[in-house]
């Protein structure tokens, strides 16, 4: 299947929309910095808006990190590193800030997983399309939309979703999070794994990512069916 380029709006991490006061922040503070008269109230409001944007981006990054490496100090360090290395503080486009920070964070998370358990993200050998309940490698094939997954991640079902993720094999969990949560397409996901998940990951391909993601989606669909039946 031909994959479309990743779109920040496709990720179920809550959209870190630019809050009021943040658009045009650099233009508004440019006056005083250039020696022109400025309005202190305007600058303060703009600064507050940018801080709010950073807080939202950081919260989304922590959610992503905790799904990859678990909650705790590793996730906090990943967020700090991503915000710093992706230069979020000087990026005035929130979409670009999200894209670059997610890539930096995901790269470091893969390295942590490989260091914890070498070979855990090795490319599957002899992987052939399995007969599963999902025929397509798309989130909607599991009967859930991006908005619904977002609600599952951040809402009252948060623990159930995370327990399901924790029960998946490392490869299924990682591929699912990179594809469905971080919003990377199959080619980008394969590239991240190949470059940063250790020597055994060198053979990851978009086709392998697609198949593993399809298996994870089938597991998600089964989880949703069981949950609905229980209610």
Domain ranges of the chain: 8-230
Q: Provide the pLDDT confidence category of residue 65 given band limits of 50, 70 and 90.
A: very high
Q: What is the pLDDT of residues 119-178, one digit of tens each?
A: 999 999 877 666 555 666 666 666 677 777 777 777 777 788 888 899 999 999 999 999
pLDDT over 90 percentage in the chain: 39
* pLDDT digits 0-9 by tens, 76-125: 999 999 988 877 666 677 788 888 999 999 999 999 999 999 999 999 98
Give kind and range of the element (H or E) at residue 165.
helix 158-166
Which of 29-33, 151-155, 227-231 shows the lowest per-residue confidence on average (mean pLDDT)? 29-33
Inter-residue long-range contacts of 67-72, CB under 8 Å, 24+ positions, other chains counted: 67/153, 67/162, 67/165, 67/173, 67/177, 67/181, 68/106, 68/109, 68/110, 68/113, 68/174, 68/177, 69/109, 69/112, 69/113
């Amino acid at each position: 299947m031909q994959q479309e380029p990743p779109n920040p709006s496709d990720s179920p991490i809550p959209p870190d929309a630019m809050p009021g006061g943040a658009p045009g922040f650099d233009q508004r503070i440019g006056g005083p910095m250039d020696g022109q008269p400025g309005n202190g109230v305007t600058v303060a409001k703009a600064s507050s808006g940018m801080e709010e944007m950073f807080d939202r981006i950081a919260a989304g990054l922590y959610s992503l990190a905790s799904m990859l490496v678990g909650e705790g100090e590793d996730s906090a360090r990943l967020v700090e590193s991503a915000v710093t290395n992706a230069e979020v503080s000087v990026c005035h486009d929130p979409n670009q800030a999200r894209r670059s920070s997610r890539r930096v964070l995901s790269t470091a998370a893969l390295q942590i997983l490989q260091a914890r358990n070498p070979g855990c993200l090795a490319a599957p050998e002899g992987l052939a399309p399995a007969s599963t309940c999902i025929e397509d490698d798309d989130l909607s094939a599991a009967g859930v939309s991006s908005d619904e997954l977002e609600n599952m991640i951040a809402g009252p079902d948060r623990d159930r979703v995370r327990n399901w993720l924790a029960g998946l094999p490392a490869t299924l969990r990682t591929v699912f999070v990179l594809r469905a949560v971080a919003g990377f397409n199959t080619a980008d996901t394969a590239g991240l794994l190949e470059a940063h998940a250790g020597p055994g990951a060198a053979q990851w391909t978009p086709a392998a990512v697609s198949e593993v993601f399809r298996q994870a989606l089938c597991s998600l669909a089964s989880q949703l069916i069981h949950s609905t039946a229980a209610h």
